[in-house]
Amino acid sequence: MLLAALGALFGTLAIPLLWSHLPPLAAIALWAALLTLMYAALRTGGVPGIAQAMWLQTCFLAISGTVFLSVLLVTHEADTRAGLLLPAACGAYVLAWLAGLVTPGAPAGVGVREAVLLFLLKGLFAPSDLLVAVVLGRIVTASGDVFFYLSALTLQTEAEQHA
């Protein structure tokens, strides 16, 4: 539940993509304020372990969005407008990830994540650049999952040998 709530909270960064009246810096300020309020509520609610988990999950989502942005910037020459909206693109990625997470029947959100990204970022990047970034982003994240699994498997094997 916490991860889904944080994913939705990252959606505030993407508001300027859908409603141009909100400047990107205002969206960032709103996101930071809501994140702080959420942390304070969890902390004062007597659940400090969940408050700490919130920060770790926030870092995970921010890193995920940043990885996608890196892939996107490799495939596209950013213009001034795109540069100002990079936090919004990060929020769009996290929203797309969340949509894939909560969609039943779509393993790892295949198709759902990509469709949401194409919808949210369609006016900001050329469709061909965006499509390449979405596909490369999926490859990067799947490779990261495999690397993490193999690393954990290696650590487990080493721990069993030393036990």
Confidence grade of residue 106 (pLDDT, cut at 50, 70, 90): low
pTM for the full model? 0.79
Quick one: what percent of the chain has pLDDT higher than 90?
Answer: 13
Domain positions in the chain are: 2-162
What pLDDT shows up at residue 79? Answer: 57
* Exposure string for 132-153, b = 16+ CB within 10 A, e = fewer: bbbebbbeebeeeeeeeeeeee
Contacts of residues 126-131 at CB distance under 8 Å and 24 or more positions apart, as own/partner, are 126/76, 129/72, 129/75, 129/76, 130/72, 130/76
Task: Work out the average pLDDT over 96-122.
Answer: 80
What pLDDT shows up at residue 77? Answer: 64
Whether residue 80 is predicted with pLDDT greater than 60 in this model: the reply is no
